[in-house]
Structures are given as C-alpha cells and as structure tokens.
Amino acid sequence: MSLFKQIKVLTPESVELEFTLAGIGSRALALVIDYQLLAVSLILFWILWDFFTRRLLELLDTLDVNYSQVPIWLAAIAFLVTYILYTGYFVYFEVVWQGQTPGKRFAKIRVIRDNGTPVGLASATLRSLLRPLDDLIFIGAFLIFWGRQEKRLGDLIAGTLVIQEERPTVQTALTVSDAATALATELPQLTELSRLQPDDFAIVSEFLRRRPSMSAQGRAKLSRKLADEIQQILRLEQLPDGATADLFLEAVYLAYQNNFPTY
Amino acid sequence: MALSSDPQGSIRPLSAGNVVSAGLRLYSSHFSQYFGVAMVATLWILLPILLLALLVGFFVVVRDYDGLLGLLVPAWIVLLLYCSGKYLAGSAAISRLAYGELIHHPESARDANRYTQSRLWGFVAIGLLLGLLYTAVALGFYFVVAVVAIALLIALGGFAALQGGSFEQALANDPLVAASLVLLVLAVIVCAILLFSWISARVAVAELPLAIESEIGASRSIGRSWELTQKHAWRIVLILFITFLITLPLQILAQIISSLLQAVLTVTIPPDSALFTGVTLLISYIIGLASGVFLLPLWQAIKAVIYYDLRSRREGLDLQLRDRPSESI
C-alpha cells in the first residue's frame, strides 16, 4: 500500500509523466488559507463599499433628485462584485500562477490538466464555478476521499488534477569541516569506496543535510550507527585516527562525491 | 509501502497536509482493524457509567444500605480508572498498529493490544499527569490574566474610578474605551487559544512512546513527546487543525442525526417531561460515543504519522542503510 496516490498522465507529446496526487490534507489546508484571504478581501471590499455608499447618498441628498432606486442598485453591484471576487480569486491565481493559489502555494500543491499541461482560463473557471456545489454538504471532500484520482466535481468536469508540487532538488551545499576534507583525500587509499552503493551514499548525504535540525541525542546516536555500518561496508578495521563518527561520515561523503561525481 | 521515500524516490520529511493525508490513508485502508479496537475500547468506558446508573437507580429505589457507599465509591473510582486505562491502552494500540505499518513491521491487532494492555496503568498515569499539566497551565494563565487585570485597574485609578461612575460614563460616551475593552478581551481569548494549542501540540504524542518504545515509563513518555515536538509545535498545531477540519463532515452528520432523532422524540414524548430530557441526553451521549468510535482511529493514526515524522526529523528514523532492519519498534 502506498500512502500517496500516484497517477500517470500522457502529455500531448506522448510523454508519460508520473505525479503524486495532492491528498486531502494538503487540499484542506490550501482551501482554508484561500478562504481566509478571500474573507479578508471581501470584508475590506464591503467596508469600502459601505463608506462609498454613505458618501454617495449624502451627496445625492444635497442634490434634490429622486434617488430611491440607487440603494438597490448599489446593493446589487456589491453582490455582483462579491461573487466575482469569490470566483475570480481562484481563476485569477490558478491561471496566473500556473495552477496555484496562495493557499495551494503554501500547501505545495498545484492544479494541472488531465494531460499534464498547465491549467487554462476555461478549466480554472469551470473549477471555480463548481466550487460552491462541492462545498455544499462536503460533496467535494467525499469525492476526493473516495475517488481514485481525488477529483471533486469541479475537477471531474474541468478535466483537472491536483498534484503535489515537484520540488526542484536544490542541493544545498553541506558544511564540512577541514579535517573531513583532509581525511577524504586519504580514504581512497584505505579502502575500496565502490563497496558503498549509491543508496548508502544517499543516506549519508541526507543525514549530513538534515543533522542540523536533529536533536543532539538522536543525531549522535544515528551518526554512530551509520558510521559503524559504513565502516563495516567499507571493511575498515577501525575508524581512521582521531576521526569521530560525524567526521568520518563527512569524509566518506566527500570522498565518494569526488570519486563518483555523477552522484 | 514507502512513506519515508516520497514518490520521486528521495527521502524527505512530510508536510503538514501530507501528514494528515497519510494518516487518513492508513485509517481508510485499515478501517475494520482499527474500528474493531476502537469499538472495544469505547465499550470499556461505557461500563463504569452503566454501573453508576444502576447503583444510583438502586439507591433511589431502595433508600437503604447507605453504609455501603463508603465501600462502593472507592471501588467505583478504581473501576473507572481501570476502564479508562483499558480505553487509553486500546487507543494506543491503534497508534501502535499504524506506526507498525509506517516502519514496515505490521502487527496483528491482538499483538498490539496485548502489548499496550500490559502497560495499562502507565497510560492511566499519562492521562492523570496530562490532566495535572493542563490544570496547572490553566491556573497559571488565570493568575497572569488576573494580575494584568488588577494592574490595569490600578493604573486606571483603582476601584474608586469604577465606583464613581466615571468609568461607566466613559464606557458609554467614549467608543475608544469600549473598543479597547473588547480588544483586551479578544487578546486574552487569542492568548488562551494559542497557549493551549501550543501545549496540546507539545504533548500530542505523549502516549506513543509508551505504546511503541521499550523500557519507558509514563513521565518519560510525556518527556519524549516534549523533546520530539521541540521547534515543531506550530506545525503540529496546523496538523491537528487540518484533522479537525476533515472530521467536520462526520461531526455535522452526527449533529444532523441527533437533531432528527430529537424531532422524532418531540412528536412521541411530551417535550417538557423529565423522560424527554433523559432520553435526549442519552441519545446525544450515545451518538457522541458512536462518532467517537469512528473518529478515534483517525486521530490515533494521524498521531502515529506525527510521531513517525518527528522521529524521522529529529532522530533520522528513516535514514537506514540497505538491508538493515530498523532498530526498534
């Protein structure tokens, strides 16, 4: 069982792409954020509109004209603008930000079309127009929960998917001590680095990348364990002189990267 | 099943939304297993309440044997603690099962239950300690609010200002005074919400170490939760909040059923009778328990994912070299 649903899409160029569906948690989070922002903008609009209306009516009062029809028109316009804001918010952002709204950006998800291309004006509008229906007694939530492709009504009709955003794998430079750099140059003479598989290397580099945010105890324990295991894999009798577990792992990382630059 | 390795094959911790999705996925794919455990656990807390109802009924009808109360009350309290322990251990078993899935060591419900039930009193102790913690925090909070309120009062001129009627006048005349009063109350409420969310996040996985790790006691288990959630409290608050949102449909459904039944009752039983009150209370209690049986496994599964994710982040639980069994369950 996989915890996240995968989906394969065929692009118009007949390229098969694999995506991970957004999942109901991220979608709920995105929706809450978007609705908060929307609520704030609607409240702002109504406050401004109220201010504007009062001033206008005061002005009309002084002009001595019959304006009994004006308030109802003002109210009608206000409701229309409210509806446009509600629908337009999602359309605007999904089109301009390539399938993302502020909420979706925060939750790291994105809307795409069924064929993997960016969502356009038509599909974004359809999704947005059907949103009230999906919110009604949580139809959308149930459809997302039970559907194989996690599509709410809007997605079904607009032919869209909501996927997890592909993160560009930015390889942040690891900070490695000078001692490790020195040890890294010695390592190839001490052992056959190719005994280490790329998977092992990935674990070591991931550990080095994540260790600053680990708890001191957890980090020390894992560092010792990994160093022990790598030492065995490399068939080293003991850790090189004066090397701590962390230092050893740093050196292994550097040496491996220097010897097999593709990883 | 690969949780630690994300779809692209690289390893990384989970986002808040993904924690909830993963928990929900575990919940739906193991629903019958978790539901069974939750059902049994919930029936256990029903027992002392039923017994209490019987005892009350007995004493109301017989109006004698009052001397027995001195024996019955302590016995009932012990029973209550034991049954709560059964409930808590059952809940913890669900988290243990979910965690087992996450680390690729699935267990049977019977094994998980046997393990957690053997630590029943530990879970009771965790429950009592958390109760104490919350009480202490609430008292502390009240104290701080009281001190601030008194300080403000003194700054504004003490009780004399209140009694002289000038304050009421100011309140009535100056919108600024009323507005700042409202803001002050709002600020206190927001502070209270933030404080309790933060505390709940810090102890969110308090019972999981006891249910999963070996050689650990009740207070150490809470300590582990505190340690693991360090620097992650607000992310966990977010996770708990999203989970709450997702459970809303079910809660609203329960609410609808409850009000429907009440509407049916008003037709059959006179609404101002004692029987009506009793029956409505009973119905809402039963519906509350029933929705609890559905929701408990979801919360426990999500807590298991939170715990797994925290251990990955804080201790690199997911960073294992190939062909090496994970160190601990």
Q: What confidence tier does B141 reach under pLDDT thresholds 50, 70, 90?
A: very high
pTM of the model: 0.87
Decide if pLDDT at B1 tops 60. Answer: no
Cα of A71 to nearest chain B Cα, Å = 28
Q: What is the pLDDT of residue B328?
A: 43
Cα of B126 to nearest chain A Cα, Å = 23
Q: Does B231 touch chain A (CB under 8 A)?
A: yes
> Is B94 part of a structural domain of the chain?
yes
Q: What is the pLDDT of residue B272?
A: 76
Summarised one tens digit per residue, pLDDT across range B86-105 is 999 999 999 999 999 999 89
Q: Does B326 touch chain A (CB under 8 A)?
A: no
State chain B's mean pLDDT as an integer: 87
Closest among A191, A202, A180, A194 to A249, alpha carbons compared: A180
Strands of chain A, DSSP E: 6-10, 16-20, 109-113, 160-164
Q: By percentage, how much of chain A surpasses pLDDT 70?
A: 96
> Is B74 part of a structural domain of the chain?
yes
Q: What confidence tier does A128 reach under pLDDT thresholds 50, 70, 90?
A: very high
Decide if pLDDT at B5 tops 60. Answer: no
**From the list B17, B246, B315, which residue is nearest A218 (CB)?**
B315
Residue B42 and residue B296 in contact, taking contact as beta carbons nearer than 8 Å: yes
The tally of CA atoms less than 13 A away on the side-chain side of residue B84 is: 14
Residues of B in contact with A108 (CB under 8 A): 15, 17
Cα of A77 to nearest chain B Cα, Å = 31
Decide if pLDDT at B221 tops 60. Answer: yes
**Mean pLDDT (whole number) for B126-135:** 97
Cα of B266 to nearest chain A Cα, Å = 26
| Inter-chain CB proximity A3 and B313 less than 8 Å | no
**From the list B17, B252, B314, which residue is nearest A23 (CB)?**
B17
> Is B5 part of a structural domain of the chain?
no
> By CA distance, what is B10's nearest residue in A?
A202
Summarised one tens digit per residue, pLDDT across range B292-303 is 999 999 999 999
Q: What is the pLDDT of residue A171?
A: 62
Closest among B198, B293, B242, B308 to B24, alpha carbons compared: B242
| Inter-chain CB proximity A3 and B21 less than 8 Å | yes
Give Cβ neighbours of residue A188 (< 8 Å, ≥ 6 apart).
Answer: A255, A259
> Is B326 part of a structural domain of the chain?
no
Q: What is the pLDDT of residue B2?
A: 39
**Mean pLDDT (whole number) for B61-75:** 84
| Inter-chain CB proximity B24 and A145 less than 8 Å | yes
Decide if pLDDT at A167 tops 80. Answer: no
Give the Cα separation of B6 and A2 in Å (integer): 10
Cα of A99 to nearest chain B Cα, Å = 18
Q: Which of A67-71, A176-180, A240-244, B121-125 has the highest mean pLDDT?
A: B121-125
Q: What is the pLDDT of residue A168?
A: 62
**In which domain, by residue range, is B111 found?**
16-315
Strands A109-113 and A16-20: unpaired
Give Cβ neighbours of residue A95 (< 8 Å, ≥ 6 apart).
Answer: A119, A120, A121, A124
Summarised one tens digit per residue, pLDDT across range A134-160 is 988 788 988 998 888 999 999 999 999
Summarised one tens digit per residue, pLDDT across range B7-57 is 334 457 899 999 999 999 999 999 999 999 999 999 999 999 889 989 888
Residues of A in contact with B20 (CB under 8 A): 23-26, 28-29
Token code pair at residue A133 = 């229906």
**From the list A138, A203, A219, which residue is nearest B321 (CB)?**
A203
| Inter-chain CB proximity B17 and A202 less than 8 Å | no
> Is B171 part of a structural domain of the chain?
yes
Closest among B31, B93, B99 to B305, alpha carbons compared: B99
Cβ neighbour number for residue A127 with a 10 Å cutoff: 26
Token code pair at residue A13 = 């160029």
| Inter-chain CB proximity B17 and A1 less than 8 Å | no
Decide if pLDDT at B171 tops 60. Answer: yes
A-B contacts (CB, under 8 Å): 137
Q: A145: burial class by Cβ within 10 Å (0-12, 13-18, 19+)?
A: middle
> What ipTM does this complex have?
0.86
> Is B322 part of a structural domain of the chain?
no
For chain A, domain boundaries: 6-164, 178-259
More confident residue, B118 or B67: B118
Q: What is the pLDDT of residue B167?
A: 66
Q: At what angle do helices B233-268 and A24-63 cross, to 10 degrees?
A: 80
Cα of A82 to nearest chain B Cα, Å = 25
Q: Does B298 touch chain A (CB under 8 A)?
A: no
Decide if pLDDT at B312 tops 50. Answer: yes
Decide if pLDDT at A262 tops 70. Answer: no
Report the number of distinct structural domains present in chain B. 1
Closest among B324, B130, B311 to B213, alpha carbons compared: B311
Q: What is the pLDDT of residue B152?
A: 84
More confident residue, B208 or A12: B208
Residue B237 and residue B197 in contact, taking contact as beta carbons nearer than 8 Å: yes
Residues of A in contact with B10 (CB under 8 A): 169, 202, 206
> By CA distance, what is A225's nearest residue in B?
B320
Q: Which of A93-107, A162-176, A236-250 has the highest mean pLDDT?
A: A93-107
Q: At what angle do helices B274-315 and B69-102 cross, to 10 degrees?
A: 40
Residues of A in contact with B319 (CB under 8 A): 203, 206-207, 210, 222, 226
> Is B261 part of a structural domain of the chain?
yes
Residues of B in contact with A18 (CB under 8 A): 7
Q: What is the pLDDT of residue A182?
A: 82
Mutation test of the interface with chain B: which of A29, A108, A211, choosing the one with the most B Cβ atoms within 10 A?
A: A29
> Is B237 part of a structural domain of the chain?
yes
Q: What is the pLDDT of residue A255?
A: 87
More confident residue, B1 or B128: B128
Q: Does B11 touch chain A (CB under 8 A)?
A: yes
> By CA distance, what is B327's nearest residue in A?
A225
Q: What is the pLDDT of residue A113?
A: 94
**Mean pLDDT (whole number) for A225-245:** 85
Give the Cα separation of A245 and A239 in Å (integer): 8
Residues of B in contact with A138 (CB under 8 A): 248-249, 252
Which residues is A162 bridged to in the sheet? Answer: A111
Give the Cα separation of B90 and B293 in Å (integer): 11
Cα of A69 to nearest chain B Cα, Å = 34
Decide if pLDDT at B184 tops 50. Answer: yes
Summarised one tens digit per residue, pLDDT across range B228-284 is 999 999 999 999 999 999 998 888 888 888 888 888 888 887 777 778 888 888 888
Decide if pLDDT at A81 tops 90. Answer: yes
Q: What is the pLDDT of residue A47?
A: 96
Comparing A100-114, B148-162, B250-264, the range with the smallest average pLDDT is: B148-162
State chain A's mean pLDDT as an integer: 89
Give the Cα separation of B239 and A48 in Å (integer): 35
